[in-house]
Amino acid sequence: MRAVRIYQYGGPDVLKYEDDVPEPEIGADTVLIRSIATSVNPIDWKVRSGARQKDFPLTLPAILGKDVSGVVTAVGRDVRDFKPGDAVIAMANATYAEIVAVPAAWVTHRPDGLDPIDAAALPLVALTGDQLVRRATQAAPGQTILVSGALGSVGRAAVHSAKTLGAKVIAGVRARQLAEAESLGADATVAIDDDDAIARLDAVDGVADTVGGETAAKLLARVRPGGRFGYASVLPEDAAKDATVAVSRVFAQPDPARLRIFAEDMRDGKFVLPISQRMPLRDAAAAHTLLEKGGGGKIVLLP
């Protein structure tokens, strides 16, 4: 099958497009999915470079990728909820490939009417943003939740989940993005690259952080005592040393039920996830180069 593999850690050039990669084996509780599309996420280039080797060790050669939208081609003997021909989406592993093996418990049916290519942009970012809000900040009706990096893909998902839960949402973005952030439907916006603006913030019940670094440390100080701070990136080493709030890091876990809800909302226009480019899988290295430069929406890869 066609796939992109890496044989060593390094820059985008270590991504090798190959057309003779062995297909994955099917297990008793696994489905095989012929991919229509996958997408590129920041974690992909961080794993590829070796920067996140501690969190996500690889056995080389390895296939990267966390999202798949496609059609079931085969199911394991214990699988009851899927059959060949089903249109599905999933957060998975090794998705830069023509065929992807996924535990059936991670898979959901793709809603009728949702573009199958755009759907590939959804799984990882939707579940990361959702779990930042539901699990890490434990947002509740009436609480105030600040989402940093709110115009990013994960940030958009976090805003959507927090609003769905009835929280008051503050969208944290760069000062030059404040006008654009009005489209998110948040209750307020704040420039998180402006120290004075951060200092003027009233204490919030929780922060869903997608930015990391020193900005995250400054936002942590704006959470009320007893509040919650969830992050998906990296905090400075001593940022939470004396924190009076519950600090937790989110590594997204498969949740097909929540993914299905996001997929329906995406289809219905209730959740908007910008797609900047559709590129062939063979151009994965170019896609990584674009992603590392930042800006724009999701990049989708077509096998």
Per-residue pLDDT of 83-139, as tens digits, reads 999 999 999 999 999 999 999 999 999 999 999 999 999 999 999 999 999 999 999
Task: Please report the domains of the chain, with CATH numbers, ordered by start residue.
Answer: 3-122+273-302 (3.90.180.10), 125-249 (3.40.50.720)
Nearest to 118, CA basis, from 86, 153, 72: 153
- The rounded distance, in Å, linking the Cα atoms of 251 and 253 is 6
pLDDT tens by residue, 202-244: 999 999 999 988 999 999 999 999 999 999 987 777 766 767 8
Output the six-digit token pair for 256: 């097909």
Distance in angstroms (rounded) separating the CA atoms of residues 27 and 30:
5
Residues linked to residue 204 through DSSP beta bridges, in sequence order: 223
Instruction: State the Cα–Cα distance between residues 229 and 251, nearest whole angstrom.
Output: 14
Pairing relationship of beta strands 298-302 and 275-280 according to DSSP bridges: parallel
The DSSP symbol for 2 reads -
Whole-angstrom distance, CA of residue 131 vs CA of residue 260: 14
Pairing relation of β-strands 223-231 and 246-249? parallel
Q: Around Cβ 156, how many Cβ atoms within 10 Å?
A: 25
Give me the chain's average pLDDT, please.
94
pTM, two decimals, is: 0.95
CA gap 87, 218 in Å, rounded: 44
Please compute the mean of the pLDDT values over residues 41-52 and round it to a whole number: 90
Residue 229 phi/psi, 5-degree rounding, is -130, 115
214 close to 239: Cβ distance less than 8 angstroms: no
The reported pLDDT for the residue numbered 242 is 65
Q: Residue with structure tokens 């059609």?
A: 71
- What is the C-alpha separation between 34 and 88, in angstroms, rounded? 10
pLDDT at 130: 98
